[in-house]
Amino acid sequence: MTSTEAGTTVSITRQPNAAAGRAAPKGRRRGPRRPPGLPWILPAFIFVVGFVYYCIGYTGYISTLNWDGVSPNPQHVGWANYVQLFHDPVFWDTIRHTVLFFVVTFTVQTAIGFTFAALLHSKVKLANLYKVIIFVPVVLAPATMAPIFRQIFSATGQFNTILGDIGLGSLEHPWLAQSSTALPVIMAITIWEWTGVTFILYFAAMTQIDKEIVEAARIDGANGLRVLTRIVWPSVRGTTIALAMLSVIGALKTFDVPYLVTLGGPNYATEFLGTFIYRVSIPQAEVGYGAALSIMLLILSLAGALAFGLRGMRRN
C-alpha cells in the first residue's frame, strides 16, 4: 500500500496546474465542438467510484450493527459502536501513536532527505551509489523486510551487538519487547523505508532552482549554509507541504510494519488505527465495531488530506 502513497505526494504540487488549465479553457470556442467525453471516463469512474462508495456505504451500515460477520441476523445498535469507540482507551492510544508517529517520521525524513538531496547536488563522488542505497528500501516490500527488523532489534540482535561494540553496551535492550522503545523502533523502520521518497522528491525539486539566484547569493558572500536555509529551503516549500500530506495519510494508513514487527504490542504500545481495525474486525470478529473505527479513520484521512491540500493550493 505504501508505494502508492509515494505517488500521492506529488498530487498536490500538480493540482494548481490543473486548476490553471480549468480557469482558461483555451480553444474550446475556437476549434470545432469537442466530442462527448462521458463514455471515455465512465469505465474508470464506475469502477473506482462505484467500488469505493459502495464499500464506504456498506461499512457505514455495518458500523450500526452488533455483528460477528457471519451470523444471519445481526442486531441493530444505532450509534452504540461510536459511543464505545470514544470510551475505548485503545482508540485514543492509536490516535496518540499516529500523531506522534507523524510528527517524528515527518521531521526526521524531511531533515535527512533534504540534507541528502543538498549533499548529492554538491558534486560529491559516487553520487549514484549513495542514491541507490537510500532508494533501495523504498522498492523493497515492508513485509519482506519485517523478519530481519524483528531479528535486528531482538534482545540478541545486531543492533545490541553494535551498541556493545561501540562501547554503548549499557544501552542494550530488548527493543521490541518493551513498551517504551517499541514505538520508536517502528518509527525508525518507517523512516528507513521512506526517506528515499523524501530524498528523491527534494532532489528533483532542487534541480529546478534557478542556478543564477544561487550564484548571485554566493557572490554577495552567502556561505553554503546560508544559501541552503535562505534560498533552497524556501524554494522547495511546495515539496515539503506535499510530503507533509503524504506523511499524514501514510501515518493514518500504517499497517504493515507494526502488524508484522510487533503485532501492535507489547500491550498495545504500537497499535495504530490500521492494526486495531484489523484486530477488532478479523481475529476478534467484532465487525460492527471495526466498521465504526473504519469510518473514523476515513474521516481523519479526508480531514488530513484536506487540511494540507488546501494549504498547498492557497499557496499557489
Of residues 70 through 109, those in contact with other proteins by CB under 8 A are none
Least distance (Å) from other proteins to the CB of residue 200?
6
Nearer to other proteins, 149 or 179 (CB): 149
AA letter at 122: S
Q: Which is nearer to other proteins, 105 or 294 (CB)?
A: 294
- Sequence-distant (6+) residues with CB within 8 A of 9 are 197, 201, 239, 242, 243, 245, 246
Give the integer Cα–Cα distance in Å for 109 and 113: 6
Q: Which of 244, 258, 287, 312 binds other proteins (CB under 8 A)?
A: 287
Q: How many of the other CB atoms lie within 10 Å of CB of 231? A: 18
Q: How many CB atoms lie within 10 A of CB 4?
A: 8
178, three cell numbers: 518493551
Please enumerate in sequence order all residues whose Cβ is within 8 A of that of 264, keeping only pairs 6 or more positions apart, or say none.
258, 270, 271, 272, 275, 276, 279
Positions 138 through 167 that interact with other proteins (CB under 8 A)? 138-149, 151-152, 158
Report the residue from 258, 264, 274, 312 that binds other proteins according to the rule CB under 8 A: 274
Instruction: Choose between 82 and 192: whose C-beta lies nearer to other proteins.
Output: 192
Minimum separation from the CB atom of position 237 to other proteins (A): 13
Told to check if 298 binds other proteins by CB under 8 A, we report yes
C-alpha grid cell for residue 47? 469502477
Q: Per CB under 8 A, does 1 bind other proteins?
A: yes
Q: Which of 23, 24, 26, 87 binds other proteins (CB under 8 A)?
A: 26
Which listed residue (77, 176, 187, 201) binds other proteins by CB under 8 A? 201
CB of 277 within 8 A of CB of 293? yes
Question: End-to-end distance of the chain based on CA atoms, in angstroms?
Answer: 29
Kindly identify the residues of this chain, within the stretch 115-134, that bind other proteins according to CB under 8 A. 115-116, 118-125, 130, 132-134
- Amino acid occupying residue 55: C
Q: Is 198 in the site for other proteins (CB under 8 A)?
A: no
Per-residue contact flags (x/-) with other proteins for residues 213 to 252, judged by CB under 8 A: -x---x-----x--xx---x------x--x------x--x
Q: Which is nearer to other proteins, 179 or 216 (CB)?
A: 216
Site for other proteins in 44-63 (CB under 8 A): 44-45, 47-49, 51-52, 54-56, 58-59, 62
Residue 219 beta carbon to other proteins: minimum distance, rounded to whole angstroms: 11
Query: In the complex with other proteins, which residue's Cβ is closer, 179 or 303?
Result: 303
List Cα–Cα distances, 150 to 85, 159, 168, 177, 254, in angstroms: 31, 11, 21, 10, 17
What DSSP letter does each residue of 185-227 carry, written as one string? HHHHHHHHHHHHHHHHHHHHHHHTS-HHHHHHHHHTT--HHHH
